[in-house]
Structure 1
């Protein structure tokens, strides 16, 4: 399969650009026309550019739009409508170009005999892993509508969580950014003029002020490099995330750092219990279950540990014992899973754990602002203390000399 980039016009006369995978140029051209588009140009492109285009398209699709897609498809399928009819109706009512193009591609692949899960997987990061996993389960169990509804509910909870975290972090981010901006302005413009005046008057500058002068000189000499490094920092983190070993240590740190652990760890436990319970209730075999569960969690540290647990389970060990050996789950999770194994109610125990950790996660999110605020005030206070002391100490020395 090769990647092809195309330009086309839709039925409303709007320009549409996209990429698709196909066997050859002629097949790719027919695939574009089959979407109901008027093809203008098409050419082969590299797999890297095709992946990049799909990644950029994913940024244009909001999480709520994906939730609406899953919710609408679940309702239509439950009403007994054919899958192709459902997708056609959703395409007609979707205003987002990137999402509409993706759904058109999904419809085309399904019409050609492909699975819905395979069609979603071909869209790259536009659709989250949880949705792909649950659709795979729904297709395997014949409960696609129920799996889509579960996916929509899960994604909605994730969206509410993300909104709550953003709200809690808004004030700390504003306060720290404002303080750092003031510090940079003071170091770059105010301090050099004041120190020049004080040095000319023969004032002996204290160690703190001299240290600030050195920082100011360093900033003035290399401010361009510092700004570039700041802008490249997100790219560096992104590239590190592509390295499996770097991801492992990053994800390990995320569940160990205080405050961050409250959100990340509880989210992982809630997602693990919820999706594990769904897969168990669907009757998925353990080897296939872990293959579906692990990627959807999005944590490399958990992935490595769960793969080891999977090997032990397939070798005949109990689920609870295998998970206990990995030392990543609290006693409550291990105890409830053990009870579920011995009583045959594993899915019920996992649903309880999912609700418990979802509530714990909500409580942690609501108190996040209160937990961070003292730290923010401490940082801001320390920065202002350094600024004031660096300025006031030489002034105090000057006033003392004038008094004498």
Structure 2
């Protein structure tokens, strides 16, 4: 979700918590927000509300707001709990932004290392080796032997570049295919949930978002089946989303909620255990609140561990890149100089 939605949500929470009427809050929000995009969509929403349109319907007309966001606001309108709803949404969106920042920080260093490695190999191959070849030919008579060795260097560098660009191309194709093809997206997301280490992190993030949505929906006494149908929209992994859809179908056919989740082997045992408890005591809101708190702590712990482990790992990667460059280019060049 974009930063302008977070700013809008935080501002509306502050204004509505100050007991301002909705229309007044929107009018003040439009003046307070500094970004052009925020001002424009807030003005459009205010205009529609002044014309008699429901606030949630005005939000749904703006493509920025996902279905769950609109649904929660609609519930807040009907129950008179808009300040609380915006408070929950603001806290959740702020947490998501913090997580994204931590992930970007963890990935920034390896991205720089990879970019540096590509740049070094490219410069050596395109600019340095051709000049070395000319220099060696000018100062030695054994040009045929020198050309052979430089040709080997070029071949090695081209192989290195092909490997690097090949990896990047495969990654780009996977991302593009996932976005454009539903079946491919399902296959890729299923593979992600099978990769060691990555699967635990991915599932924790998915359960964090899902349990947040279910927590808010069940707290407002929204029907469980409808809550599940709305909550699945926050899931970014298509495989997990399909599993929730399957759970909804099973419940609609008369199967127990706990059993429906248990039959979908993809869900963690912690989730299914608490859902079974909720089914027995009828406290779904309390159960999903507990689940959300658990996955909130788990996600923060995982991100902290990844960030702390990233530095030594990427120092090793940097060292490996330097050694590879020395072995591939520097040592052979010195060998050529020794052959003169």
> TM class by shorter-chain length?
0.7 to 0.9
1:100 corresponds to 2:43: no
Alignment TM-score, normalising by the size of structure 1: 0.72
Distance 1:261 1:273 in 2: 18
1:317 Cα deviation from its structure 2 partner: 1.4
Distance 1:113 1:128 in 2: 22
Residue 233 of structure 2 is aligned with which of 295, 312, 323? 295
1:247 Cα deviation from its structure 2 partner: 2.4
SS at match of 2:145: coil
SS at match of 1:113: coil
CA distance change for structure 1 residues 249 and 235 in 2, over 3 Å: closer, same or farther? Answer: closer
CA distance change for structure 1 residues 382 and 218 in 2, over 3 Å: closer, same or farther? Answer: closer
1:87 Cα deviation from its structure 2 partner: 0.7
Unaligned 5+ residue runs, structure 2?
none
Match of 2:189 in 1: 251
Q: Give yes or no for contact 1:263–1:364 (8 Å, CA) kept in 2.
A: yes
Q: Give yes or no for contact 1:131–1:148 (8 Å, CA) kept in 2.
A: no
Number of residue pairs the alignment of both structures matches: 332
Q: Give yes or no for contact 1:266–1:360 (8 Å, CA) kept in 2.
A: yes
CA distance change for structure 1 residues 211 and 202 in 2, over 3 Å: closer, same or farther? Answer: closer
1:87 corresponds to 2:26: yes
Q: Give yes or no for contact 1:187–1:215 (8 Å, CA) kept in 2.
A: no
Distance 1:219 1:306 in 2: 43
1:151 Cα deviation from its structure 2 partner: 0.6
CA distance change for structure 1 residues 201 and 256 in 2, over 3 Å: closer, same or farther? Answer: same
1:158 corresponds to 2:96: yes
Distance 1:290 1:203 in 2: 70
1:205 Cα deviation from its structure 2 partner: 5.2
Q: Give yes or no for contact 2:232–2:241 (8 Å, CA) kept in 1.
A: yes
SS at match of 2:129: helix
Residue 118 of structure 2 is aligned with which of 180, 200, 203? 180
Unaligned 5+ residue runs, structure 1?
1-57
CA displacement 1:115-158 (0-9 Å, x = unmatched) = 2222112111x335553342133234432221111111100111
CA distance change for structure 1 residues 242 and 114 in 2, over 3 Å: closer, same or farther? Answer: farther
Give matches, 1:64-75, under 5 Å.
Answer: 65-75=4-14
Residue 145 of structure 2 is aligned with which of 202, 227, 234? 202
Which structure shows the higher helix fraction?
2
CA distance change for structure 1 residues 378 and 192 in 2, over 3 Å: closer, same or farther? Answer: farther
CA distance change for structure 1 residues 254 and 113 in 2, over 3 Å: closer, same or farther? Answer: farther
When structure 1 is superposed on structure 2, of 267-276 and 74-83 the one drifting more is 74-83
Residue 330 of structure 1 is aligned with which of 246, 268, 288? 268
Match of 2:49 in 1: 110
Which structure shows the higher strand fraction?
1
Q: Give yes or no for contact 2:102–2:307 (8 Å, CA) kept in 1.
A: no
CA displacement 1:170-208 (0-9 Å, x = unmatched) = 2222222222211221122223333563871625857xx
Distance 1:259 1:178 in 2: 27
Alignment TM-score, normalising by the size of structure 2: 0.84
CA displacement 1:89-110 (0-9 Å, x = unmatched) = 1112122111111111111222
Q: Give yes or no for contact 1:251–1:299 (8 Å, CA) kept in 2.
A: yes
Distance 2:65 2:103 in 1: 22
Q: Give yes or no for contact 1:168–1:366 (8 Å, CA) kept in 2.
A: no
When structure 1 is superposed on structure 2, of 73-82 and 294-303 the one drifting more is 73-82
Give matches, 1:275-314, under 5 Å.
Answer: 275-314=213-252
CA RMSD of aligned residues (A): 3.4
Q: Give yes or no for contact 2:121–2:160 (8 Å, CA) kept in 1.
A: no
CA distance change for structure 1 residues 379 and 130 in 2, over 3 Å: closer, same or farther? Answer: farther
1:319 Cα deviation from its structure 2 partner: 1.5
**Which runs of at least 4 in structure 1 moved beyond 4 Å after TM superposition?**
203-206, 209-212, 215-220, 233-236
1:326 Cα deviation from its structure 2 partner: 1.5
Distance 1:251 1:360 in 2: 21
Residue 323 of structure 2 is aligned with which of 381, 385, 390? 385
When structure 1 is superposed on structure 2, of 140-149 and 327-336 the one drifting more is 140-149
Residue 369 of structure 1 is aligned with which of 307, 319, 338? 307
CA distance change for structure 1 residues 349 and 200 in 2, over 3 Å: closer, same or farther? Answer: same
CA distance change for structure 1 residues 257 and 139 in 2, over 3 Å: closer, same or farther? Answer: farther
